[in-house]
Amino acid sequence: MKKKKIIIYACLIVLLNILSFRSIYNKKEFYITDNEYLYDEAVDYLIKNDTNPEKVKERYKMFIDYEGFGITENKMYHYVYMWINEESYYVEDNKIIISSGSSMAYRFTFNINDKKIISYDIPKDGSEYTSSIKKMFPRDIANKVLKYQYNTNKIEESVHEYYADLEDQNIYNLRNDKYVKIGTLE
């Protein structure tokens, strides 16, 4: 009888270890390199889901530049880690008006089967910024994100090209129904 109990306990321990390993394995993320197109899918998603109320304005356009930090997968999802710089503009009275913008880290979650975006996450701000980055990203990517500084003028070049037909190449902010010059594209 003792022998049967020992065998049953041993089988239970082995079974629990197998189930525990499977659970860990299913959650474990692995880096992949053959899905870089998912970065562009994430950008397209943001553009298609732009909720800026000014997007009905004349020649409104959202401009996006990004830095890809890596893509991981587990059994169910692809996780796409990136820094996205986004700015939107429109034209009013033949002037280029800056509408909105942001520059921050993102984590997009894609279904591994149909490659559709399920959700995206951005870090919290203020005193919770660093801890939220550490929760959102694998350690090596979190370290890159925390040190990252966006320093390219690709958006400015795209804005200049898109609005090249306008005589006034200054950028304005609209404050209290007055145009305030904040920069130039020339």
Q: For 22-42, write each residue's pLDDT tens digit.
A: 443 434 566 666 778 999 999
Domain residue spans in the chain?
Answer: 30-184
pLDDT at 22: 42
171 sits in which H/E element: strand 170-175
Residues 6+ apart with CB under 8 A from 101: 85, 86, 87, 88
Buried b (16+ CB within 10 A) or exposed e, 49-72: eeeeeeeebeebbbbbbbbebbbb
Collect all residues with Cβ–Cβ distance below 8 Å to 33 and sequence separation of at least 6: 71
Of the pLDDT bands very low, low, confident and very high (cuts 50, 70, 90), residue 184 is confident
What is the amino acid identity at position 174? L
Q: What is the pLDDT of residue 105?
A: 96
Q: Taking 50 as the threshold, does the pLDDT of residue 85 lie above it?
A: yes
pLDDT at 26: 39
Q: What residue has token string 């820094």?
A: 83
pLDDT confidence tier of residue 110, bands split at 50, 70 and 90: very high
Contact 158, 132 (CB under 8 A): no
Q: What does the pLDDT look like over 145-167, one tens digit per residue?
A: 999 988 778 898 999 999 999 99
Task: Indicate the range of 59-63, 88-92, 127-131, 176-180 predicted with least confidence.
Answer: 176-180
Q: What is the pTM of this model?
A: 0.79
Give the separation between CA 128 and CA 126, rounded to whole angstroms.
5
* DSSP strands (E only) in 33-135: 61-73, 77-92, 95-111, 117-121
